[in-house]
Amino acid sequence: MPESLDRTDLRILAELQRDGRLTNQELAERVSLSPSPCLRRVRQLEQAGVIRQYVALLDPRAVGLGVLAYVNVKLEKRAPSHGGRLPSEDFRDAVASWAEVVACYAMTGEVDYLMRVHVGDFDDFARFIREKLLRHPAVLDVSSSFALDVFKDTTALPLPACAGSAR
């Protein structure tokens, strides 16, 4: 745990991970602070980049995204192009523009990248693979796995134990 985060900060973060729409008054009550110091701490956490952003989490199926795939990608190991860019840099730029890819991680081991892809159906997935991923010149190999069921899906980070006692 970073030294700058104390028990109260962790309790604030735990509560905001549970419900990012809490009013400052509600949050202050849950972490046993008065509203002004609570707001000041939240602002400090935001400015320090500990709180990255606030979002609404959508149910993929409710918005027509019924297929979740994990895609392993191997890239060609080539020297930089004439512009000095590595193939992996071009690949990262392309991935950033592909709406279907909701997360992409550079990996150790046998694959270079692991992507989490949400699409409507298998036809959409096939189209994504054929028209975007396999057309990228740096892509050497692709393998995919499909999620059959989701029994845990959280965005909450596992904060130290003292954060769990916020209530």
Residue 165 has pLDDT above 60, yes or no: no
- Which residues have C-beta within 8 Å of that of residue 118, sequence separation ≥ 6? 60, 65, 67, 68, 100, 102
Beta 67-75 vs 113-119: how paired, if at all?
antiparallel
Amino acid identity at 116:
R
Per-residue pLDDT tens over the stretch 105-140: 999 999 999 999 999 999 999 999 999 999 999 999
Per-residue pLDDT tens over the stretch 6-26: 999 999 999 999 999 999 999
> Cβ-count burial of 148 within 10 angstroms (0-12 exposed, 13-18 middle, 19+ buried)?
exposed
Looking at CATH, the fold of the domain delimited by 61-146 is given as Alpha-Beta Plaits (3.30.70)
HSE-CB at 25 with a 13 A cutoff on CA atoms is: 0
Per-residue model confidence (pLDDT) at position 167 = 46
Residue 1 has pLDDT above 50, yes or no: no
- Poorest-pLDDT segment among 78-82, 87-91, 130-134: 78-82
Quote the pTM value: 0.86
3-state secondary structure the chain: CCCCCCHHHHHHHHHHHHCCCCCHHHHHHHCCCCHHHHHHHHHHHHHCCCCCCCCCCCCCHHHCCCEEEEEEEEECCCCCCCCCCCHHHHHHHHHHHCCCEEEEEECCCCCCEEEEEEECCHHHHHHHHHHHHCCCCCEEEEEEEECCCCCCCCCCCCCCHHHHHCC
Any idea where the domains of the chain sit in the sequence? 7-56, 61-146
Q: Which CATH class is domain 7-56?
A: mainly alpha
Average pLDDT over the chain reads 93
Asked if domains 7-56 and 61-146 share a fold, the reply is: no
Question: Where does the pLDDT of residue 34 fall: very low under 50, low under 70, confident under 90, or very high at 90 and above?
Answer: very high
